[in-house]
Chains A and B, each alone.
Chain A
Amino acid sequence: MANINIKIDGVEVEIEEGKTILDAARAINVHIPTLCYHEDLCVAGNCRVCMVEVKGARALVASCAMPASDGMEIQTNSLKVRSARKNVIELLLSEHNADCTNCYKNKKCELQDLASEYKTSGEAVYLDLVPLKNYTIDDFSPSIIKDDSKCIRCQRCVRTCEELQHVSALGVAYKGDKMKISTFFENPMYDVVCTNCGQCINRCPTGSLIERNYVDEVWDAIYDENKHVVVQTAPATRVALGEDLGMEPGKVVTGKMVSALKRLGFDSVLDTDFSADLTIMEEGTELLTRLKKALVDKDPTVKLPMATSCSPGWIKFIEHTFPEYLDNLSTCKSPQQMFGALAKTYYAQKKKINPANIVSVSIMPCVAKKFEADRPEMRDSGYKDVDYVLTTRELARMIKQGGLDFGALPEERYDSIMGESTGAAVIFGATGGVMEAALRTAYEIVTGREVPFENLNITPVRGMDGVKEVSVKIEGTVPEWSFLEGVELKTVTAHGLTNAKYVMERVKSGEGAYHFIEVMGCPGGCIGGGGQPIPTNMEIRKKRTEAIYMEDSGKPLRKSHENPEVIAIYKEFLGEPLSHKSHELLHTHYKARQRY
């Protein structure tokens, strides 16, 4: 593309044709405020905060939506612009329930930031419209709370749900003064196709969409002397938590996080990575078993391709959208729920603690995990397997409340048992990670050799491409698995539900003939999860991903089947993968839900 020259506030800028005025301004560090604009989404141009004056134009233009054209002269801070922008901010505030000190997003709100920049008078310019509106709060969902009174109608959530996730649980309803963001028939979020992925929360500029938080409940459990509080931390939390505590994206804070959790008073700080390794043992074996049934026993009832079942957003998506493929899901519970079921059985036995007194908490990059923990399927220990799920953001809040100077904390190690993990488990946090971990183990089981990739890094399944199709040829099998000799194992990896839908439609049409599908519900996988620090964008997600792979390559053990605690639990408790006990505690089945 050719370059063009424009002038912004008198400064010459050369920029690629097709870029917007906002792009050009950012390229020379001219700050134009935005609200409805988000790097991950299509341009809406509806908040009108980013308006600028273009010489010769009758009206102001939205810089996010206006392509720069050669010779354009732009004022970003003229009298016209400032007065219109101030007015727009005042208008937004007049419709907004500005109960900031009671708001969960206090000091993390983009509207509040703008108000603090632009408000000088100390009083509202326009009439307060909030009392005239019948704003409602939808707090029925265990994952997401939607408060219409905080909504500024920027439609970031609507675009997120539609473009990134192809779910469209959220949409625009009514018009004019009654226009609002709502759901099908205005049903509660709990009762619609929402997958609880929380991507809308990650992009909501105000406190209109937030996670249901359990910070106080967890504090109560910690303070209760009769309770033994165990906490597990998901792989992706350790590469993002720092962002909410003043650090740059991409920082690995595993040791500091463990140290913080111990100081906050958790009785035992354990790792979801342990159960991620366990998942690989179960799921890998399940895949090989299904392949055997299909190839050797010619069993027509066996369902292939098999799909991963770690991501609760993906699970609910399948329940609503592709229920006919429910049996293609691996029966494995997610690592969080495997951990939960074992915490109140295996762990309780080993530590000689009454499971009734164990409170099981998990720190997750995810909002859907809150819903998952509440599922009726997740009580196989005889108790609620996971009692409370906190997002990475909620943990950051607890750390602040606990008065800890996070950056200065020493690095500490996870407790035992169920605290040991391998590099294969860490990479569960990034798209392609489960695939890579499964291949590392399954290939070795079948051939007795390591996967034929340098340093075990199966790079073709990594990265931000939405759909990654990778085939691995199985050669030199051990006698037990000789029926797989020469088989080309076809895999596909997708992240974000839009890509997942694409893959499933290919499966449905027969174009996609796969053996194994990995889907993570969120863009980039769990590192881009709905419970991760805000803001998010491609650059941040890439940095978190790099950190995940750095953590993997630094681990002494990088294959799940080498995890000594995993070896031990099979020896002492479970027997072998897919044993009766495994099925009882670590596997489950899901049910179809309505499309609407």
Chain B
Amino acid sequence: MTYKKLKRIDLIFHEDCECHKVLEKTFSKSNDEIINDLLESGLKGRGGAGFPTGLKWKFTAEQPSDERFVICNADEGEPGTFKDREILFKVPDKVFSGMAVCAKVIGAKKGYIYLRGEYRFLLPELRKALDKFHNDIKDLIDFEILIQMGSGAYICGEESALFESMEGKRGEPRNKPPYPTVAGFRNKPTVINNVETLVYAFMICMHGPMKFKELGTSDSRGSKVFSVSGDTPIPGIYELELGMALDQFVEEFGDGDTKAVQVGGAAGFCVPRKKLKETIIGFEGVPTGGSMKVFNSSRSMYNVLHNYLEFFEEESCGQCTPCRVGCQQLIKGIEAVKKGEKKAVYLEQLLKLSETMKLASKCGLGQSVANSFSSIVGNFREEMIY
């Protein structure tokens, strides 16, 4: 595997961006050219799942319909992620501009920002910025962005649950297919992108695909914004090139006593110290939506896992069996093993259960519980029992 050296990047938060000029330049291009630039850049979705952004826009644009939507997923709920908040706070214009480019490409008249319930405090400033933005672009495109507040449910960050929530229904994931590019919000073709993805799409319009493509690895192009937290002397938001090895990250951000890093939040993987060197941060290794949580040796991994499971037990929408009941069984199960009410071999049954959840759950939430469960139980088995 090829590792990149840890490198700080300054694209997203860089201040000398005249959005209107970039938009003018971009709007002079054809839709195909814009899509090709995106495809060429290799940009993949920054929410964690990593679907090529150019393809998503292309599919939506090609889907016959009288109406299409672009939605910015700002329901940043993954434990340990707070980078979208920073982006929306510092460079909202770039987010709006990314949406406007998408709107041009797919032919959307309306865009929505689905804002995490806990980020309501951003609303006044966002509204102000949005009014100005609408005014600035009115000569360029007939496009309006509306803000829809979430109400604090983690599951509503799942794209189809987000649509349900926006439609005024209970936030429960839908069956797929159909995918959002075919039938999304109000069953119309919809591009739904993470905040950061939209900004990178706009950055690619600004700088051209090559500047982005030069960064990262063949599977993980470009840079990414990381939210660093936990046992680190320098917690915060960092834009880093993709493809670094995790040990370099720990060297930079750890406190010298790092025991494990949780990459990708509760839905991500726990990488123990002994595997830091061989773990690459990117789609070919361990992908992340941005959350990097560092644990030092004072932390009980049982408590860490218990905390994550408590989170999932509560935040599952409760719709499908593997996720709803599986989460309850996992947490009650490790409690029973810890207390000695169940033998240690019961952990094997629980690992099988997490595998079933991965295979059988309806959406990404239930499917990814196994990530943290199996990586923590697998690497810190002793801590689960004694």
Residues of A within 8 A of B (CB): 43-49, 51, 59-60, 62, 65-67, 80, 83-84, 87-88, 91-92, 94-95, 125-127, 129, 132, 152-153, 155, 171-172, 174-179
Is A83 within 8 A of B329, CB to CB?
A: no
Is B356 within 8 A of A177, CB to CB?
A: no
How far apart are the CA atoms of A250 and B327 in the complex, in Å? 45
How far apart are the CA atoms of A83 and B172 in the complex, in Å? 26
Known A179-B318, A179-B324; further 6 A-B contacts with Cβ < 8 A: A47-B320, A48-B320, A51-B359, A84-B322, A126-B329, A127-B336
Cβ of B191 within 8 Å of any chain A Cβ, yes or no, is no
Cβ of B333 within 8 Å of any chain A Cβ, yes or no, is yes
Subset of 24 A-B contacts with CB under 8 Å: A43-B175, A46-B319, A46-B362, A48-B361, A59-B360, A59-B361, A91-B325, A92-B321, A126-B329, A126-B333, A126-B353, A127-B329, A132-B332, A153-B318, A153-B319, A153-B324, A175-B153, A176-B312, A176-B314, A176-B315, A176-B318, A176-B327, A177-B314, A177-B316
Is A59 within 8 A of B320, CB to CB?
A: no
Is B329 within 8 A of A46, CB to CB?
A: no
Is A129 within 8 A of B360, CB to CB?
A: no
Looking at the assembled complex, report how far the CB atom of A486 sits from the nearest CB atom of chain B, in whole angstroms: 47
Interface size on B, residues (CB 8 A): 37
Chain B 176-206, CB-CB to A under 8 Å as 1, else 0, gives 0100000000000000000000000000000
Chain B 350-369, CB-CB to A under 8 Å as 1, else 0, gives 00110010111110000100
Is A91 within 8 A of B318, CB to CB?
A: no
Question: Which of A46, A80, A87, A126 is close to B320, meaning CB atoms less than 8 Å apart?
Answer: A46
**Which of chain A's residues have a CB closer than 8 A to the CB of B318?**
153, 172, 174-179
**Which of chain B's residues have a CB closer than 8 A to the CB of A60?**
359-360
Is B175 within 8 A of A45, CB to CB?
A: yes
Given that A45-B362, A83-B352 are contacting pairs, would A91 and B314 also be in contact in the complex, using a CB cutoff of 8 Å? no
Is A91 within 8 A of B362, CB to CB?
A: no
**Which of chain B's residues have a CB closer than 8 A to the CB of A59?**
358-361, 367
How far apart are the CA atoms of A177 and B321 in the complex, in Å? 10
Is A127 within 8 A of B155, CB to CB?
A: no
Is A87 within 8 A of B322, CB to CB?
A: yes
Is B328 within 8 A of A177, CB to CB?
A: yes
Is B320 within 8 A of A176, CB to CB?
A: no
Question: Which of A94, A153, A175 is close to B315, meaning CB atoms less than 8 Å apart?
Answer: A175
Task: Name the residue of chain B whose CB is nearest to the CB of A155.
Answer: B319
Is B328 within 8 A of A87, CB to CB?
A: no
Residues of B within 8 A of A (CB): 153, 155, 170, 172, 175, 177, 312-322, 324-329, 332-333, 336, 342, 349, 352-353, 356, 358-362, 367
Is A84 within 8 A of B360, CB to CB?
A: yes
**Which of chain B's residues have a CB closer than 8 A to the CB of A84?**
322, 356, 359-360
Most buried by A among B172, B319, B362: B319
How far apart are the CA atoms of A43 and B175 in the complex, in Å? 9
**Which of chain B's residues have a CB closer than 8 A to the CB of A174?**
318
**Which of chain A's residues have a CB closer than 8 A to the CB of B170?**
171-172
How far apart are the CA atoms of A59 and B323 in the complex, in Å? 14
Task: Name the residue of chain A whose CB is nearest to the CB of B350.
Answer: A126
How far apart are the CA atoms of A177 and B170 in the complex, in Å? 16
Do most interface residues of chain B lie in helix, strand or loop, or is the interface mixed? Answer: helix
Is B360 within 8 A of A177, CB to CB?
A: no
Is A91 within 8 A of B322, CB to CB?
A: yes
Looking at the assembled complex, report how far the CB atom of B368 sits from the nearest CB atom of chain A, in whole angstroms: 11
Is A175 within 8 A of B322, CB to CB?
A: no
How far apart are the CA atoms of A152 and B324 in the complex, in Å? 11
Is A129 within 8 A of B320, CB to CB?
A: no
Looking at the assembled complex, report how far the CB atom of A120 sits from the nearest CB atom of chain B, in whole angstroms: 15
Most buried by B among A49, A66, A91: A91
Is B349 within 8 A of A127, CB to CB?
A: no
Question: Which of B155, B328, B358 is close to A129, meaning CB atoms less than 8 Å apart?
Answer: B328
Task: Name the residue of chain A whose CB is nearest to the CB of B314.
Answer: A176
Looking at the assembled complex, report how far the CB atom of A539 sits from the nearest CB atom of chain B, in whole angstroms: 25
How far apart are the CA atoms of A132 and B336 in the complex, in Å? 14
Question: Which of A62, A92, A175 is close to B314, meaning CB atoms less than 8 Å apart?
Answer: A175
Looking at the assembled complex, report how far the CB atom of B105 sits from the nearest CB atom of chain A, in whole angstroms: 27
Given that A84-B356, A88-B321, A153-B318 are contacting pairs, would A127 and B332 also be in contact in the complex, using a CB cutoff of 8 Å? yes
Closest 5 CB pairs of A and B: A179-B318, A91-B325, A65-B175, A87-B356, A45-B175
How far apart are the CA atoms of A132 and B352 in the complex, in Å? 23
Given that A46-B362, A60-B360, A125-B349 are contacting pairs, would A177 and B327 also be in contact in the complex, using a CB cutoff of 8 Å? yes
**Which of chain B's residues have a CB closer than 8 A to the CB of A153?**
318-319, 321, 324
Is A91 within 8 A of B359, CB to CB?
A: no
How far apart are the CA atoms of A88 and B329 in the complex, in Å? 12
**Which of chain B's residues have a CB closer than 8 A to the CB of A178?**
314, 318
How far apart are the CA atoms of A44 and B325 in the complex, in Å? 17
How far apart are the CA atoms of A88 and B321 in the complex, in Å? 7
Task: Name the residue of chain A whose CB is nearest to the CB of B317.
Answer: A175
Looking at the assembled complex, report how far the CB atom of A445 sits from the nearest CB atom of chain B, in whole angstroms: 51
Given that A45-B175, A83-B352 are contacting pairs, would A88 and B315 also be in contact in the complex, using a CB cutoff of 8 Å? no
**Which of chain B's residues have a CB closer than 8 A to the CB of A80?**
359
Is A177 within 8 A of B177, CB to CB?
A: no
**Which of chain B's residues have a CB closer than 8 A to the CB of A65?**
175
**Which of chain A's residues have a CB closer than 8 A to the CB of B353?**
87, 91, 126
**Which of chain B's residues have a CB closer than 8 A to the CB of A127?**
329, 332-333, 336, 342
Given that A45-B175, A153-B319, A176-B315 are contacting pairs, would A129 and B352 also be in contact in the complex, using a CB cutoff of 8 Å? no
**Which of chain B's residues have a CB closer than 8 A to the CB of A47?**
320-321
**Which of chain A's residues have a CB closer than 8 A to the CB of B324?**
95, 153, 176-177, 179
Looking at the assembled complex, report how far the CB atom of B380 sits from the nearest CB atom of chain A, in whole angstroms: 22
Is A129 within 8 A of B362, CB to CB?
A: no
How far apart are the CA atoms of A48 and B323 in the complex, in Å? 10
**Which of chain B's residues have a CB closer than 8 A to the CB of A125?**
349
**Which of chain B's residues have a CB closer than 8 A to the CB of A132?**
332
Given that A48-B320, A87-B322, A87-B353 are contacting pairs, would A176 and B362 also be in contact in the complex, using a CB cutoff of 8 Å? no
Is B352 within 8 A of A179, CB to CB?
A: no
Question: Which of B315, B329, B342, B362 is close to A48, meaning CB atoms less than 8 Å apart?
Answer: B362
Given that A80-B359, A88-B321, A95-B325 are contacting pairs, would A176 and B313 also be in contact in the complex, using a CB cutoff of 8 Å? yes
Given that A59-B359, A59-B367, A175-B315 are contacting pairs, would A88 and B327 also be in contact in the complex, using a CB cutoff of 8 Å? no
**Which of chain A's residues have a CB closer than 8 A to the CB of B312?**
176
Most buried by B among A48, A59, A67, A172: A48
How far apart are the CA atoms of A95 and B327 in the complex, in Å? 12
Task: Name the residue of chain B whose CB is nearest to the CB of A53.
Answer: B359
How far apart are the CA atoms of A172 and B319 in the complex, in Å? 9
Given that A47-B321, A127-B336, A177-B318 are contacting pairs, would A91 and B326 also be in contact in the complex, using a CB cutoff of 8 Å? yes
Task: Name the residue of chain A whose CB is nearest to the CB of B318.
Answer: A179
How far apart are the CA atoms of A80 and B328 in the complex, in Å? 22
Task: Name the residue of chain B whose CB is nearest to the CB of A126.
Answer: B329
Most buried by B among A83, A129, A175: A175
